[in-house]
Chains A and B, each alone.
Chain A
Amino acid sequence: GQNIDQPTEMTATEGAIVQINCTYQTSGFNGLFWYQQHAGEAPTFLSYNVLDGLEEKGRFSSFLSRSKGYSYLLLKELQMKDSASYLCALQGNNQGGKLIFGQGTELSVKP
């Protein structure tokens, strides 16, 4: 099975840096996705990690360590519009590209 854990809620200040962690226990997976979901909207794709290391995309970066069962999403220069839920998801090795999601982390950015 696959257990994925994320903190339920986080609060950070505008302009700061925040790290959202995702830990997992699984027998194997293709890669790890991060999605952003604003309230009442569809999840949108942020990043994908298949190899260990850091993937950088502008203000957002994502890191993966397969040996440690650990990923994080790093958000820099926080803006109020970054207030959203951040979802960590593993893609299995099976047919169909199924995703298994964590419960999501609700990030609140304060002025």
Chain B
Amino acid sequence: DVKVTQSSRYLVKRTGEKVFLECVQDMDHENMFWYRQDPGLGLRLIYFSYDVKMKEKGDIPEGYSVSREKKERFSLILESASTNQTSMYLCASGVATGGQPQHFGDGTRLSIL
């Protein structure tokens, strides 16, 4: 089975801190994704990557950056955390071929105080 592992289930940080969310997948997938999920808004794509060192902006990239130095690892970075970034963050991975599902991690519930 595909395993997508996010480093933390729950995280509490303070406004202005630099925050790192880590995601690792074990299926050699080319594509990796970061979403945030908020009530009434569904999942919204922040950034994605289709290869090592490659990244593309999603729908809501402002205030975030990403890093993909190795194929299996995709990191989301909040450069200076703000309270409106309190959310559930979900990482996903998938193959490059269309028509195949993305596989999700269990999510990180991040609270910015």
* Chain A residues engaging chain B, CB cutoff 8 angstroms: 8, 30-31, 33, 35, 40-45, 48, 50, 87, 89, 91, 93, 95-104
Contacts and interface: CB of A to CB of B under 8 A. Distances in A.
A87 B99 contact: no
Contacts of B22: none
Nearest to B54: A96
Given A43-B104, A96-B48, A102 B99 contact: no
A101 B43 contact: yes
Interface of B: 4, 31, 33, 35, 40-45, 48, 50, 56, 58, 90, 94-107
21 contacts: A30-B98, A30-B99, A31-B99, A42-B107, A44-B104, A87-B42, A87-B43, A89-B43, A95-B50, A96-B48, A96-B50, A97-B31, A97-B94, A97-B95, A98-B45, A98-B58, A99-B33, A99-B45, A100-B45, A103-B40, A103-B42
B102 A99 contact: yes
A44 B95 CA distance: 16
